[in-house]
Structure formats: structure tokens, C-alpha cells
Amino acid sequence: MQNDNVSVNENTKAEQLNPSRAAHYDQKLTTDQGLKLTNTDDSLKAGLRGPTLLEDFHFREKLTHFDHERIPERVVHARGFGVHGYFQVYESMSEYTKARFLQDPTVKTPVFVRFSTVVGSRGSADTVRDVRGFATKFYTEEGNYDLVGNNMPVFFIQDAVKFPDMVHSIKPEPDNEIPQASAAHDTFWDFVVNTPETAHMIMWLLSDRGIPRSFRMMEGFGVNTFRLINAQGRARFVKFHWKPLLGVHSLIWDEAQKLAGKDPDFNRRDLWEAVNNGQYPEFELGIQLIEEQDEFKFGFDILDPTKLWPEETIPVKIIGKMTLNRNVDNFFAETEQAAFCPANIVPGIDFSNDPLLQGRLFSYLDTQLIRLGGPNFHEIPINRTVAPVHNNQRDGYHRMTVDHGKVSYFPNSLASNCPMPVSVEENGYQHYAGKISGERVRARSDSFRDHFSQATLFWNSMSPIEKKHIVEAFHFEVGSVMDKQIRQRVVDMFNNVDNTLARQIAMGVGATPPFTGASGSTAVSPALSQLNTIRTAETRIVAILAENGFNHAELSFLMDSLKGATVNFDVVSRELGTIKSMDNRELAVGRNYLTAASVKYDAVFISGGKNSAAAMLNQGDTLHFINEAFKHGKAIGAVNEALDVLAACQIPDTTLAGNNAKVTDDMGVVTVRNSDLSEFCSGFLSAISQHRHWQRESKKETVPA
């Protein structure tokens, strides 16, 4: 691609996706055939009170279209949200691949990303404990390339033939359609204890990775093993990674549950608002490479999708960055109709024999045929490639292309063999000529038999607080299982991962703890812990609590500091409208306590001012808001008179600034009285950047909320 085509490529895709952008404004109502209408409020009747006539073509068209507006939702990944952007490689990857979009750092390749949960229906909540989909469509000049992954690098099963069983087990139970969007029930855990290959994925699912703070703050993984192939035909095995530049952060389970009720759209709203605010999410693309001759040198099978490649052994090479900078114009037309398939590749990228990947290559295409009404879903604007399309496929449901000529076959003489295949030298796609041999068998390689060593590696790599969260997740999930035998079998199964883990699980689910068990490998992978991630206050959201009589000078200074650090905030007060400061300055209130909740924010600031503080001291909603934020480990800031409000909260063993004290930061509670606010703001921003102050959870008592 030429450099002067960079912006044209991006604009061309935007125009394709929106061929009639803003076309309805100031226009006259018509039928789908363009016939102008005089009335759309009354059907055509035989008399004012008579029956509707069959000849009312407008009624039939309008109702027929309405009746068919809903397409079948995805069996999995039904709850999704999409956003546009672009990708740029940092430097040419010609050493590893001939894929053109990975060659020129000046080229911006348009992308569309769809984030999703897996288990729930379209109407389920964003913050359920679940795997998150992370699917990226690159609109390259060589055709569309789909990198279809998750926010976890491994999967439940090793062979795609088991996928229907796995999904059936985790979906709502068929007799009563309960529970929605949850793995906390009998059939799923029955499947788990009878399928030990799930052990590693269960550790990921029950970790904090299962409840991400934001789509903008989670990693993405291609999961399967692919190949990169360069122009010389040399192939390497590859795994793909997306690394968020905001770091990898999660919710607390109690927080996630409350958000599901207070704001079930929390993650999609967060992404939508970030893009609208110009705070564009950024992800770096990384690759792990293994030379073909090294395929068998590791202690695991690199084709096993229940295994990851430890980053300490096989480093992640960062090769480019994706910026998400444009929200969709229409959710249905773009996000809901987006069709992804791992078989959508370009020259320089090919498949491996990963048995889960092999099944996905069939299943994704097959799914689109039923969801999107036939074989022409590629002509829907969101799925349309920017590369020219010429072939002999014809007709079918919803055909958009008007093909010219009488020839639709190959070979032919009437059209000089056009459209004709091209050579490899003309960049025609050629599958990698890997050697395949063996008998036809329905079996599995012995190298896939190890189901527990990497689950142990994951457990060993967690910090104490992350281990605590995993155990609590087991207590909720397995504690929700009614069958006592299954609960005991879960304990026995995870005794193969770690004896301490199994004993802690047993204590919370009414099972018998095993006295002995796995105590083998002590290997760790620091990259697996979310505590080893980027920490920044950028794009976080602060709730500013204030009432009439607040200190305007203090609050203005804080707001300017937050804006300067690209931190967002809402003013929360008892009533919507405006409040007045102690010197009669007005401030707009963004939320009241009915429309706001501490779980929607990353931090809380309590405004000073004698009358404001006095009002908050008499409001149970304010005190609950602060207590709950403390319970969830969030940064809390207070200055001057606001310290009296903080002192009235049920926050244990927290040191507050005394008279004329400098800034005090105790477990992320940052306070100051009669001292320099610039130092306070610096400390408060630092506390926000920590995401959560987990040391609070080591306290024997937690704040009621």
C-alpha cells in the first residue's frame, strides 16, 4: 500500500459502513421502494371502523420488517459491544511474515473490535463472571483478517468436538432456564469434574480476570497457535497478544454483583463514553514465536489450547499499536451484524494443527449462515472488505452485488477464464506446505494428557490477595451447586492443582478437605499476576461528594488537577440541579444518590466546607457511599472539614490528618487539613493510579455496605 493511500483507506471503510450517513435528516417518508407516503399512523381500512385491507402494502411492509428485525442472537458471545479504530505496526515484520499490513509503520489499517461476554444472552449484564471475547477485524488491502480471541490465553477444552457439550453445560439449565449468564450451577460443574482438561481455564475464570474493570483494561489473546510465514516460505509458530496501555485491572466480586443491578451496561457505557470523550483506548499487539524445529522442546504441547506459553520462557515481542477512536453509528448494523471467523486470513498467516482451532475454522462460518440469513453476509457493510472482490459465487439470500455478464464458472472461454487465479508471486494465498502423516484415528495425543501443571503454575503466580479472591470465587460458584457429590469432586479435582487450594475450597463448600495432595512444582510466571501491570490514573472516574456550602477554591483546585491528569469526575449531591459554595459560586450537580453509586467510580473525594460537611454528616446515603468505596479498596480523598465526615464513617484503623497536618495516606485514604493542596492532589492521584488498595482486605473487619 502506498503511503498516500493511508487516509483514503480509513475513509473508504467509513463510507462503506455508512453509505447513507445522515440521509434521513430533513427528508420525506417513503416505503423501502422509495414511494413517498402521506400517512403512517393509520392502516387502510374498509370504513372508519372496518377491517384492515390486504392491499395496504405500507402496513404489510412496515409490520413485516418489524416482525423480522431481530435476528437469532449468537449462541455464545451474544452480549457484545463494538468500536472502530486503526492499527499501525511499529516496524516492518518482513523477517517473520509477508502480511502487508505488518510491513509499513506509516500505514493505518482500519479495524473493528467487538468485545463481549460468552455465556449470557444479549440482555444479560456486562459485569458477570465470565470469559470476555476480544475479536478484531483488520480491513487490509489483501482482504479481511480476523483475530478472534478472548481475554484469557487458554480455553476449557482441547478439541472442538467437545464445544457443544461445554456450552450446553454452562448455559442456563434446560428444564427451568436458570441461571442466566452464570457458571454457578450444577450442570457446569458436573461437566468440569468429568473433564479434567478444564482445570487451567477454571483457575483463570475464577481469578479476577473473570470480572474486568473495563474492556479498555483487559488483555486479549488469540488463544490458538497459528503460523507466520515470510516471503521466503519460512514458517514459525505464533501466539497473539493484545496489551492494554491502561494496564490490566478488575472489579471486586461484590462490586461486580452490585453493578449488574445498578448499571448492567457498565462496561459498554465505559467504552462508549471513553471514545466520545476522546480518551481513545490503546492496545499494543505482541507476538510469541517458536521456531518449527523447537516444536517439541517444551514441557507442554504448543498445540494444546489449554496451555499458555510462559512469557518468561517465550517472550512477547511488541510489534504495533491499535487505537480505538470511533463509536458505531448503529449498534445493529455494525456490532450485531459483525461476522468474525478465524479462517479469514491473509498471505503470511496460516493455521496450525491445534484441534480447537481446526474446529473453529468450520464452526464460525457455519454459524453466520444461520444468524445472518445465508452466504452473502460478507456483503453487509461492516463485514465488507476494502479489497476488490471477484469470484463466481452468485445469488443466495440477501445478495447485494449486481453481477454483470453471463459467465459464472471456471474454466471458461467466453470470459477469457476471468476471474482467474493468480500466482504466489502475484500475492495469491498459498497454504503452508507442512508435512502431514498418520493413520485416521479418533484419539488424542499423549502430549495433551497433562491437565494440572499449568493450573498449578497459575496458582503459584498469584499474589496472596489474588489467591484469596480465587478461593472466594470457588466458594460462590461451587457453593451454588446443589449436588454434594459434585462439590466433593471439585475439591478432589483441584487437589491435583494444589493441596492448600483444595483444602480452602472444601472449607467453604461443605466438603471433606483432603489431607494430602499436589505439592509439586513451585514454578511461577510473574506475567500472570495482575499486580504486575501498568498503573495510571488516566481516564479513571472520581465521585466528588459535595453539598451547599462547599469550599469553591478547594474544589476548583482539585478539579483542575484531575483534568490535568486526564481523570474524569462527577459531582454527586443529594439533589440534581446546582449547589452553591460558601461564597455563593454555583456548581452543576451531575448525579444524585439515586442515579449514582460508589460501584460506578474508581475513587471518591469528599469536599470541604463547614456547611457541606454538616449536611453530609446527616445523610446516610453519603456515609454508605464512602463506606462501600472503602470496602471495595478504592482511593478516598478528604480535605479540612470533610475529615469530620470521614471520621463518622465505619472505616477501621485509618489515620486522618490532624490540625495543620501534612498529607496523610493510610491504605489509600488521602487526607489533609490546613496544608498544601498541591501535595494532597499529587497523593490522591497516586492513590487513584493504584486501582485498588488490597491491603484493606487483610483487616479482620470489613466495612458493612
Instruction: Determine the pLDDT at residue 302.
Output: 97
Please tell me the predicted confidence (pLDDT) of residue 67.
85
Please give the tally of structural domains in the chain: 3
The domain in which residue 641 lies consists of 541-698
**CA-CA distance, 223 to 150, in Å (whole number)?**
7
pLDDT of amino acid 148: 98
Among residues 150, 327, 344, 627, the one annotated as catalytic is 150
Model confidence at 700: pLDDT above 80? no
Q: What is the mean pLDDT of residues 560-571?
A: 98
What is the percentage of the chain residues whose pLDDT exceeds 70? 94
Report the share of the chain in percent with pLDDT over 90. 78
Of 383, 400, 435, the position where a domain reaches its end is 383
pLDDT for 14 equals 63
| Distance separating alpha carbons of residues 466 and 207, to the nearest angstrom | 7
Longest dimension (CA), the chain: 95
Whole-number Å distance between alpha carbons of 526 and 463: 9
DSSP state of 206: T
Q: Is residue 35 part of a domain?
A: no
DSSP assignment, residue 355?
H
Q: Same domain for 469 and 598?
A: no
Residues 337, 379 within the same domain: yes
Q: Is the pLDDT of residue 27 over 90?
A: no
Peptide bond into 153 cis (omega under 30): no
Domain match, 373 and 461 both: no
Contact criterion met (CB below 8 Å) for 262 and 599: yes
Together in a domain, 472 and 614:
no
The DSSP-derived string for 233-292 is: --EEEEEEEEEETT---B--HHHHHHHHHH-TTHHHHHHHHHHHTT---EEEEEEEEEEG
Shortest CA distance to 498 belongs to which of 130, 199, 192? 199
Task: For 162-213, write each residue's pLDDT tens digit.
Answer: 999 999 999 999 999 999 999 999 999 999 999 999 999 999 999 999 999 9
Q: At how many degrees (to 10) do helices 464-479 and 499-509 cross?
A: 40
Whether omega for the bond prior to residue 419 falls within 30 degrees of 0, making it cis, is: yes
Beta bridge mates, 113: 83, 136
Measured between alpha carbons, how far is 264 from 210 in angstroms, rounded to an integer?
Answer: 16
Residues 223, 201: Cα–Cα separation, whole Å: 11
Residue 599 lies in a domain: yes
Query: What grid cell was written down for 358?
Result: 481446526
Quick check: is 77 catalytic? Answer: yes
Q: Are residues 677 and 621 part of one domain?
A: yes
Position 16 confidence tier, pLDDT thresholds 50, 70, 90: low
Q: Strand, coil or helix: what is 669?
A: strand
For all residues of the chain together, what is the average pLDDT? 92
pLDDT 10s digits, 265-314: 999 999 999 999 999 999 999 999 999 999 999 999 999 999 999 999 99
| Number of helices and strands in the chain (H, E) | 18, 19
Could you report the per-residue pLDDT of 217-254, keeping only the tens digit for each?
Answer: 999 999 999 999 999 999 999 999 999 999 999 999 99
CATH of the domain at 517: 1.20.1370.20
- Residue-level pLDDT at 519: 66
**Amino acid identity, residue 386?**
V
Are residues 581 and 693 both part of a single domain? Answer: yes
Domain check: are 149 and 298 in the same one?
A: yes
Cell numbers found for residue 264: 448492567
Tell me: the pLDDT tens digits for 389-410? 998 889 999 999 999 999 998 9
Q: Domain of 600: which CATH number? A: 3.40.50.880
Look-up: residue for cell 412496515? Answer: 62
Strands (E), 518-634: 541-545, 568-573, 577-580, 586-589, 591-592, 603-606
Average pLDDT over residues 572-589: 97
pLDDT value of residue 173: 97
As a whole number of angstroms, the distance between CA 318 and CA 284 comes to 7
Per DSSP, 207 falls in state S
Which residue among 340, 363, 383 closes a domain? 383
Residues 265 and 305 in one domain: yes
Range from 88-97, 183-192, 369-378, 586-595 carrying the lowest mean pLDDT:
369-378
pLDDT over 90 (residue 661): no
Q: Tell me the backbone φ, ψ of residue 520, rounded to 5 degrees.
A: -85, -105
Chain segment 426-470, per-residue pLDDT in tens: 888 888 988 888 888 888 999 999 999 999 999 999 999 999 999
| Model confidence band, residue 3 (pLDDT cutoffs 50, 70, 90) | very low
- Calculate the CA dihedral of residues 449, 453, 455, 457 and round it to 10 degrees: -150
- Cell numbers at 125, concatenated: 449484564
User: Strand 664-666's sheet: what is its strand order?
Assistant: 591-592, 568-573, 541-545, 603-606, 635-639, 669-672, 664-666
Q: Which three cell numbers stand for residue 215?
A: 474492556
Is 67 inside any structural domain?
Answer: no
Give the per-residue pLDDT at 705. Answer: 45
The answer, yes or no, to whether residue 22 has pLDDT greater than 80, is: no
What DSSP string runs through 134-157? Answer: EEEEEEETTEEEEEEEESSSS-S-
Rounded Cα distance, 673 and 658, in Å: 7
Which CA distances in Å does 86 have to 6, 76, 214, 271? Answer: 11, 26, 20, 16
Per-residue pLDDT at 63: 81
Which of 383, 407, 441 marks a domain boundary?
383
pLDDT tens track for 460-482: 999 999 999 999 999 999 999 99
Instruction: Give the C-alpha separation, 699 to 299, whole Å.
Output: 40
What is the tens place of the pLDDT at every residue in 599-646?
999 999 999 999 999 999 999 999 999 999 999 999 999 999 999 999
DSSP 326-354: EE-S-HIIIIIT----TT---TTEEE---
Q: Is 480 a member of any domain?
A: yes
Which of 58, 77, 84, 691 is catalytic? The answer is 77
**Res 520 pLDDT > 80:** no
For residues 29-63, one letter each, b for 16 or more C-beta atoms within 10 angstroms of the residue's C-beta and e for the rest, the string is eeeeeeeeeeeeeeeeeeeeeeeeeeeeebbeebe
- Residue 17 is predicted with a pLDDT of 58
Higher pLDDT, 346 or 441: 346
Measured distance CA(385)–CA(378) in Å, rounded:
8
Residue with cell 471475547: 133
Q: Is 552 found in the same domain as 459?
A: no
Structural domain includes residue 428: no
Query: Cα separation of 606 and 613, whole Å?
Result: 8
**pLDDT at residue 1 greater than cutoff 50:** no
Residue 638 domain flag: yes
Stretch among 8-12, 141-145, 149-153 having the lowest mean pLDDT? 8-12
* 223 shares its domain with 136: yes
293 shares a domain with 226: yes
In a domain, 267, yes or no: yes
Q: What are phi and psi of 59, to 5 degrees?
A: -60, -45
Domain co-membership, 111 together with 236: yes
Residue 500 included in any domain: yes
Q: Which of 298, 238, 285, 241 is nearest to 96 (CA)?
A: 238
| pLDDT over 70 at 135, yes or no | yes
Burial class, 204, CB count within 10 angstroms (exposed 0-12 / middle 13-18 / buried 19+)? buried
Say yes or no to pLDDT of 702 above 70: no
Query: What is the distance between the alpha carbons of residues 216 and 279, in angstroms, rounded to a whole number?
Result: 10
Fill in the amino acid letter for 171. K
